[in-house]
Chains A and B, each alone.
Chain A
Amino acid sequence: MILGIESSAHTLGVGIVDNGKILANSKRMYDIKESGMIPAKVADFHAENVYDVIESALESAKINIDELDGIGYTKGPGIGPCLHVGQLAASYLSYKLKLPIYPVNHAIAHIEITKHLAGFKDPLALYVSGGNSQVLGISNIPKKHYQVYGETLDIGVGNMLDNFARAAKLVPAWGSTVAKVAEGGRYIKMPYSVKGMDFTFTGLLTNAVRLLDSNKVSDIAFSLQETAFSMLTEATERALMLTGKTELVLSGGVAQSNRLRSMLMDMTKSHGIKFYDADNQFNADNGAMIALVAEEMYNSGATFGKDKLGINQRYRIDKVEVLW
């Protein structure tokens, strides 16, 4: 039984997993309201809540803390002070309970939990969140790892939507509000920027913000969302053609978007490719995904010395060896 702690951004999550079965997925979220995230404040929030959330996870899994076999935590990528809280809590538990500790890559965790729930063998993954937007798949050369086929060359799609929401004074200032406002909007031409399997979002954002003075917010929100998600779907389509993979998973915070899901569903259907998106509790940041990957690492028999622990705010997914 493995406990995992996620604290890379505004969510503090604790999950417990036993042989791939998710026993608990508890979380508490810092309320970002209109202000966005001030790293130190979010870290304080996590520090104040981490033990409560661990307790509530143990309660909902109906287990005693002594039954645990290992502890996982998010090493990165994420916000430094927030990552530190999770790492400290995990180190303390590991020290107190004399359990092995596993540093988990946040992006891998998102993809792995979706792949696990889908029951897929070798899917292509579209991973979309605040800070990240990547098209990935497992490659065995030179070592088994997630290869990035395409990615954003500037900002993540989630940050782009959040930034727009703030500029348009939408509350709460994040993507789901943009989606709500976009309903019934009409299309205005926007810059569309896909190069091969890579894409950029800042030009789109700048254009959308500039249009705010002279256009209906719903029209801009609609056009912004359509353009961004079309770019992601097209890059994913190209990667599917290139790799010949026959399964696709959608992971990460922005995977909660119904519009993005329906575009990917239409695209995969037209090529006869299997598509899976998870329940939203697993698309949002959560502890269960960290516990799940930590369990894979535990099963692989690998151990992690002090030099492999710590945090890494820019922990790239393609730098991680997949041990399972």
Chain B
Amino acid sequence: MVKFLKISEGSEANIYLQNILGTNIIIKYRRKKNYLIKEIDEDLRKHRTKKEAKIMSLAYSSGVDCPIPLIVSDYSIYMNYIKGNNLNKVLDKIKDVKFMQIGKLLYTLHKAGIVHNDFTPANIILKGTKFYLIDFGLAELSSNAEERAIDLLLMKRSINKRQYSHFIKGYSESNPFSKEVNDRLAIIEKRGRYQDRSLSLK
């Protein structure tokens, strides 16, 4: 029995690091939830694992710097290990202008028709001079301005004003939908999360 090294635990998955044939591999395993009946539990884990792998593949082939899903089983995704520093840890150490690259990273993702839904420094890894996006657990296929704006908002709340100004420059450069998304972001910020949302629903 191979013993896996657990490196983190989220609300629905465990992340393991394992050396396989000389290569470091990350395994994201969706845990069983004891409060769900077996049918729902297995169905959700399979469906979500498959969907996440599919979106990761699409992101990667669309030019987004992110891990590649190598093996997908019922509840696990095996992907290449990106050895670097979590952006959270180096947030104050990197030059503001570097945030342009992170903006570009998000633009590449959105251009591919994907929204991440958890676009925070915790899910970005700096390896060498390059930024990589990880954890597509909440990602969706969408080109909706509102959903895109939520990705911007999450980042905006996590970094300072100067960093954000570079970030948004990188995002907006030769981006045909940047105005629409920025306008939508202004609306979201004005109304505040969830407030009066019931009125905007049809």
Partner of B34, one of A189, A238, A266, A319: A266
The segment from B16-24, B36-44, B160-168, B177-185 that touches chain A is: B36-44
B11 located at the interface, meaning its Cβ lies under 8 Å from any Cβ of chain A in the complex = yes
Tell me, rounded to whole Å, the shortest Cβ–Cβ distance linking A142 to chain B: 10
The segment from B72-80, B101-109, B125-133, B194-202 that touches chain A is: B194-202
Residue in chain A with minimal CB distance to B201: A153
Given A154-B201, A238-B11, residue A227 in contact with residue B40 (CB < 8 A): yes
Residue in chain B with minimal CB distance to A148: B194
Tell me, rounded to whole Å, the shortest Cβ–Cβ distance linking B135 to chain A: 14
Say whether A263 contacts B195, CB under 8 Å.
no
- For the complex, what is the distance from the CA of A218 to the CA of B104, rounded to whole Å? 53
Query: Chain A's interface: helix, strand, loop or mixed, by majority?
Result: helix
A226 proximity list for chain B (CB < 8 A): 37, 40
B117 proximity list for chain A (CB < 8 A): 196
Say whether B44 contacts A263, CB under 8 Å.
no
Say whether A241 contacts B11, CB under 8 Å.
yes
B10 located at the interface, meaning its Cβ lies under 8 Å from any Cβ of chain A in the complex = yes
- For the complex, what is the distance from the CA of A73 to the CA of B175, rounded to whole Å? 54
Say whether A316 contacts B195, CB under 8 Å.
yes
- For the complex, what is the distance from the CA of A298 to the CA of B193, rounded to whole Å? 30
- For the complex, what is the distance from the CA of A6 to the CA of B43, rounded to whole Å? 42
Say whether A318 contacts B195, CB under 8 Å.
yes
Say whether B40 contacts A230, CB under 8 Å.
yes
Say whether B40 contacts A263, CB under 8 Å.
no
A264 proximity list for chain B (CB < 8 A): 35
Partner of A230, one of B35, B198, B201: B35
Residue in chain B with minimal CB distance to A149: B194
B94 located at the interface, meaning its Cβ lies under 8 Å from any Cβ of chain A in the complex = no
- Can you list 11 contacts pairing A with B, beta carbon distance less than 8 Å? A187-B37, A189-B43, A192-B44, A196-B138, A237-B11, A241-B11, A262-B35, A267-B34, A270-B34, A316-B196, A316-B198
Instruction: List 8 A-B pairs, minimum CB-CB distance, nearest first.
Output: A266-B35, A241-B11, A263-B35, A187-B39, A267-B35, A148-B194, A266-B34, A230-B36
Residues of A participating in the B interface, judged by any CB pair closer than 8 Å: 148, 151, 153-154, 187, 189, 192, 195-196, 226-227, 230, 233-234, 237-238, 241, 262-264, 266-267, 270, 314, 316, 318-319
